[in-house]
Amino acid sequence: MRSIHRVPLTALLGALWLLQACGGDRPGSVPEVPEAELTAQVAELEAIHEVMQPVWHDAFPARDFDAMREAVPEFETRLAALDAVRLPGILQDKQARWDEQKQLLMSSFEGLKEAAEAEDEDRILAYTEAFHMNYEGMVRIIRPVVPELEAFHQHLYGVYHYYGPGYDLEKIQRAADAMAEAIGPLHAAQLPARLAEHQEHFQAAVANLGEKVTALQAVLENPGRADVEAAIEAVHAAYEGVEGIFG
């Protein structure tokens, strides 16, 4: 019978300690965030615009019903592609709104398709208008109200979803510094006219966000994992406070 090689208990305990340390406060190395996850664009939605633009700006005001009916099959093909889209990572928090608005878009298109088949001109006009309105609703979901906030979010996304969970201190520090630089332009940003009444609230929320970023930078001067993670969570919560102003 072959003898069993016994590993000393001290060696086992040492190995266990090492595994725990690697998952504890020891910094790790995390790959860069894939560029595709940081791009707040949906090509399939832009493809619909290629057909929508002449329909809405030319055919609709001219009451060119032939052109509107002829656009239906093209819309249908592009809507099928849109229906299969998975939003990029940076837009995942908008998924519920996206799905809800997409249902409205699809419903108004079905009405347009049925009206076109019936050659009902009044309903073609009504559903073309509804279809365009719901398309614009989808565009607004992914188009940032304040571009400066989206620029900030790109840095926060990497920290919150990649570098923080992987505890890559070098990349966390880099992102924290980038977020700090983004606060100035964000605080100076002016909301569009339809949201002007929220300007004061917006600036107060941005000031709070800046304080949380500064606190993260301070923690990083003498980092402990629990403190770093708590500071990142505070920055994320403050960012949601700014984003929440826009509904």
Phi-psi region of 63 (alpha: psi -120 to 50; beta: other; left: phi over 0): left
Cα 224–chain centre separation: 29
pLDDT at 134: 94
Q: Which amino acid is at 30?
A: V
The model carries a pTM of 0.69
pLDDT at 25: 55
pLDDT at 42: 87
In tens digits, the chain (247 residues) has pLDDT values of 333 334 343 333 333 333 333 444 556 677 787 777 777 778 899 999 999 999 999 999 999 999 999 999 999 999 999 999 888 887 888 888 899 999 999 999 999 999 999 999 999 999 999 999 999 988 888 887 888 998 999 999 999 989 999 999 999 999 999 999 999 999 999 998 888 999 999 999 999 999 999 999 999 999 999 999 999 999 999 999 998 888 6
Query: In whole angstroms, what is the distance from residue 19 CA to residue 38 CA?
Result: 32
Domains of the chain with CATH codes: 38-142 (1.20.120), 145-246 (1.20.120)
pLDDT at 8: 41
pLDDT at 245: 87
